[in-house]
Amino acid sequence: MAQQDNIKRLLRLTQEGNRGLLEEEVSRCESVRTAIVQGHFGRSGDTAVHYAARHGQLDVLKYLIEELGADVELVNGDYKRALHEAASMGHRECLRYLILRGAKIDSLKKADWTPLMMACTRRNLEVIKDLIDSGANVTLKNKDGWNCFQIACREGNPEIIQYLLKVSPGIWDVESKVKRTPLHTAAMHGCSEVVDILLERCGYGSDAKDSCGVTPFMDAVQNGHVGIAKLLLKKHRANISAKDALGAQSLHRAAVTAQDKAIQFLVTELGVNVNERATDLNLTALHYAAKEGHRGTIETLLTLGADVHAKDSKGRSALHMACAGQHTKCIRQLVDAGLTDSPDNTGRLASQLLKKPEALKLLEGVTDIK
């Protein structure tokens, strides 16, 4: 127990960068010296070298490697090296030192992430430059099929995007394993400056679809990024009527994610029919909103003229969807909007409401449920 407490103290000194006290503690006991050089700690199995690199403690890092002989290529439980840590946290001095000491520039941690990919999760251009200047391969992909450019597009720093395109002009032409492009990623995450660069400098096809049939325009709309949707319309001639693999359009996907402003944009500015049907099961946006229990979206759709009585290919109204999801407040909302149900469907409605008897009362007088 005493030695375990001592190790914890040493790791704390490592994180704090207190080299003087660390040297004193290590010099007192050979077993402690061995543990601090070779030991793996915590759930992730980090070594002292990992701790020093993660916290940017260059002086301690030098002591561990040069004085104690720690290996720069030590891995933790996720096969992460110290170089991954320095790159991820943006500690440039530690990163350059590790490279100088022979750290493998394209080492892979779990899920095949390189230090360069880790660096691209941050907005530190200088660290990214150091890695590429040292020979990092910009074209490598992780297990999901993402390269460093795709990751940078998610983070949305235009300077980094411009730099990566400069050093590797064709880097943009990549798809993940589910066929998502960097343009999908930037649109989804609301990175408008990056979307603008991609549309200007890269050759993405209009309305490219991922494996679910989703286009960048759909990504922008369903995440509420109306400005990016407008940009895609202006510069990319995006198809507002494109359908995903289930036949849903942008309107339907916006209803699922409760993006009311995007719905208003589609209907009032672009003229999308608020009662447009998804080809799968003939659902309307109101069906989708009721299924998810989005009261605000239901109100938005009704205000825009959604047909509260519309039925899908199975004869189900939005009320059925609200009942199936046990969304009591939405049931009340739809009933107040004048939605009634035919007697032949009341048995199904009743069975769906068994978990919430109070919701059944909302239908009394509207259907023949007693």
pLDDT (tens digit per residue) in 274-304? 999 999 899 999 999 999 999 999 999 999 9
pLDDT (tens digit per residue) in 181-238? 999 999 999 999 999 999 999 999 889 999 999 999 999 999 999 999 999 999 999 9
**pLDDT reported for residue 370:** 35
245 part of a folded domain: no
197 part of a folded domain: no
First to last CA, the chain: 69
- Whole-model pTM? 0.89
273 part of a folded domain: no
27 part of a folded domain: yes
From 109, 137, 163, the end of a domain falls on 109
Query: Which neighbouring-strand residues pair with 367?
Result: 364
Q: Which two tokens stand for residue 104?
A: 């493998």
Give buried/exposed letters for 216-255 (b at 16+ CB in 10 A, else e).
bbbbbbbbbbbebbbbbbeebebbbebbbeeebbbbbbbb
CATH code: domain of residue 66: 1.25.40.20
* 208 or 364: which leads in pLDDT: 208
From 90, 109, 128, the end of a domain falls on 109
pLDDT (tens digit per residue) in 109-126? 999 999 999 999 998 999
Q: Compute φ and ψ for 85, nearest 5 degrees.
A: -65, -50
From 109, 132, 157, the end of a domain falls on 109
Contact 226, 193 (CB under 8 A): no
Calpha distance 370→349 (Å, rounded):
12
81 part of a folded domain: yes
339: domain range?
280-370
Q: Give the pLDDT band (50/70/90) at residue 30.
A: confident
Assess whether pLDDT exceeds 80 at residue 265.
yes
220 part of a folded domain: no
Give buried/exposed letters for 284-294 (b at 16+ CB in 10 A, else e).
bbbbbbbbbbb
pLDDT (tens digit per residue) in 135-155? 999 999 999 999 999 999 999
SS3 call for 239: coil
**pLDDT reported for residue 343:** 44
Contact 258, 296 (CB under 8 A): yes
Calpha distance 272→270 (Å, rounded):
6
Helix ranges (H only) for 17-124 are: 19-28, 30-38, 48-54, 58-62, 82-89, 92-100, 115-119
**pLDDT reported for residue 284:** 98
187 part of a folded domain: no
Q: Count the domains in the chain.
A: 2
Contact 184, 194 (CB under 8 A): no
